[in-house]
Structure 1
Amino acid sequence: MKYIIVGLGSFGSSLGIALTSQGHEVIGIDSNMQKVDAYKEVISHTICMSATDEYTVKGLPIIDTDIVIVAIGEDQGANVMATALFKTLKAKRLISRSINPLHETVLQAIGVDDIFHPEKESAMRWAKRLSLRYFVDSFELSENFSIVEINIPDALVGKAIGELKLEQKFNVKLLSTLVYEQYKDTFGRMQSKPSIQGLAMPEQILEDNDVLVVYGANKHINQFLRSVGVRVH
């Protein structure tokens, strides 16, 4: 996948390094030449430019980029301007950093696809979330074990949980399933919130809108995903 990361501070640079190490193509942008030079060997591409200048931003391969992440944290005005500019230039998926509640409201009004809070969330967690097509979210219990939410792969739709034999085959446990329900936010746009289905039961039939809540070692979860045709790194 291809990413543009705007702002190479602590979070943006860590995310860029993680995604690059996973084999993705990353363009890291910052107006500080020292940061651009510092990460040029560990991020696919680094460019010194202002992300609020429409002329230079238009020169980026936005149409060929899967996700744009605005990680600017020091300058709230620059964050909003850059986010609005990439939205105007029709980024396929746009994610921006929230600095405070009012700022988050402004980002929602602009129409970003997702908002992150670096003070609460790690760059590695977001790297995992962004790099796996079926991945929704995760909670890392330790360095090697996680509880993850995964959009149901097509190969599992219509199957009973019991027949998957996840514990026997892969040493992972399906704890529950959930669905994301749609609702309108204060700006009239559709948003989603999770609805837990309860503990997973062997006789439960998996449906095409289910999200699987899986627990296990990261390597075992990846083995399970590969077995159903999901590409992981």
Structure 2
Amino acid sequence: MKTVLIIGIGRFGKHLATRMTELGNEVMIVDKEEEKINDLLPCVTRAHIGDCMDEKLLRSLGVSNFDICFVCIGDNFQASLEITSLLKELGAKYVVSKADRTIHEKFLLRNGANEVIHPERDVALKAARKYSARNVLDYFELAEDFSIFEIEVPDNWVDKSIKQVNVRSRYNINIIAIKKNGKIIPVTSAEHVFMKNQHLIIAGNTKDCSRILDMK
């Protein structure tokens, strides 16, 4: 469990607060608009109405006590920049700021953000990767050149073991789990036999993984 401060309850902030709470974290939300706060009162730990560009208000929140502070203001970059900077000045441990443009990311990082996220861009890139290949069911990029994919079992792998296909040597990827009926089961043996209705969770260099994404 982590203590989380979320500043700015737009669409992204609302989803973030809801999911963070569902995952068992203690969440405090802050926004200037009372209506946005009221919508989330039943699910968050604490809430405050106010403008976090006011240093006194921000100081009163005790930002140094939170494990993570999210700045989710999307319609006012100047406000996002100033709040990010103030959070770090007040001793925030880790600040994650939302950006809508690449140039915003550069300024946010220079002004104290530990990490910058681009929700719309990231979703678009994930969707492009997922739907451009024939059998990709899900996709997660861990780093610029390392990814995890959920794929269908290629037809020519069915009824063969990992050892027989020689997955690691031939494709330079790892089969880390299978997914069947919504359940993920770790793969710990090279003797595992691929079956038609299984989904595979594979990990490796993105280019290496891409070699098998369009296999039938």
Alignment TM class, shorter chain as reference: 0.5 to 0.7
1:85 Cα deviation (Å)? 0.6
Structure 1 segments of 4+ aligned residues over 3 angstroms from their partners: 145-150, 213-221
Task: Give yes or no for contact 2:65–2:92 (8 Å, CA) kept in 1.
Answer: no
Aligned length: 150
Structure 1: tracts of 5 or more residues without a match: 126-138, 151-174, 177-197, 202-212, 225-233
User: How many angstroms apart in 1 are the aligned matches of 2:24 and 2:76?
Assistant: 30
2:63 is aligned to 62
Helix, strand or coil at the partner of 1:83: helix
1:199 is aligned to 172
1:119 Cα deviation (Å)? 1.3
Task: Give yes or no for contact 1:8–1:28 (8 Å, CA) kept in 2.
Answer: yes
Task: Give yes or no for contact 1:33–1:48 (8 Å, CA) kept in 2.
Answer: yes
Determine whether 1:71 maps to 2:72: yes
- Deviation sequence 1:102-133 (CA, Å, 0-9, x none): 211111211311111121346xx9xxxxxxxx
User: How many angstroms apart in 2 are the aligned matches of 1:147 and 1:220?
Assistant: 17
Quickly say closer, same or farther: Cα 1:38–1:107, change in 2 above 3 A: same
1:216 Cα deviation (Å)? 4.5
Q: What code does the residue aligned with 1:14 have?
A: H
Task: Give yes or no for contact 1:70–1:83 (8 Å, CA) kept in 2.
Answer: yes
* TM-score computed with the length of structure 1 as normaliser: 0.55
Q: What code does the residue aligned with 1:49 have?
A: G
How much identity, in percent, do the aligned residues show? 25
2:53 is aligned to 52
* TM-score computed with the length of structure 2 as normaliser: 0.59
- Deviation sequence 1:10-59 (CA, Å, 0-9, x none): 00010000010111100111011111111111222221111111111111
What value does the CA root-mean-square deviation take over the aligned residues?
3.1
Helix, strand or coil at the partner of 1:104: helix
1:146 Cα deviation (Å)? 4.7
User: How many angstroms apart in 2 are the aligned matches of 1:140 and 1:15?
Assistant: 23
Task: Give yes or no for contact 1:148–1:214 (8 Å, CA) kept in 2.
Answer: no
Helix, strand or coil at the partner of 1:95: strand
1:61 Cα deviation (Å)? 2.9
Structure 2: tracts of 5 or more residues without a match: 132-136, 143-166, 187-216
1:30 is aligned to 31
Q: What code does the residue aligned with 1:34 have?
A: E
Helix, strand or coil at the partner of 2:121: coil
1:64 Cα deviation (Å)? 2.0
Q: Equivalences for 1:82-161 in 2 at 5 Å?
A: 82-121=83-122, 146-147=138-139
1:199 Cα deviation (Å)? 2.2
Bigger CA radius of gyration: 2
Quickly say closer, same or farther: Cα 1:55–1:21, change in 2 above 3 A: same
Higher relative contact order (CA 8 A, sep 6+): 1
Quickly say closer, same or farther: Cα 1:88–1:215, change in 2 above 3 A: farther
Quickly say closer, same or farther: Cα 1:15–1:215, change in 2 above 3 A: farther
Which region of structure 1 is more displaced relative to structure 2, 20-29 or 56-65? 56-65
Quickly say closer, same or farther: Cα 1:63–1:22, change in 2 above 3 A: same
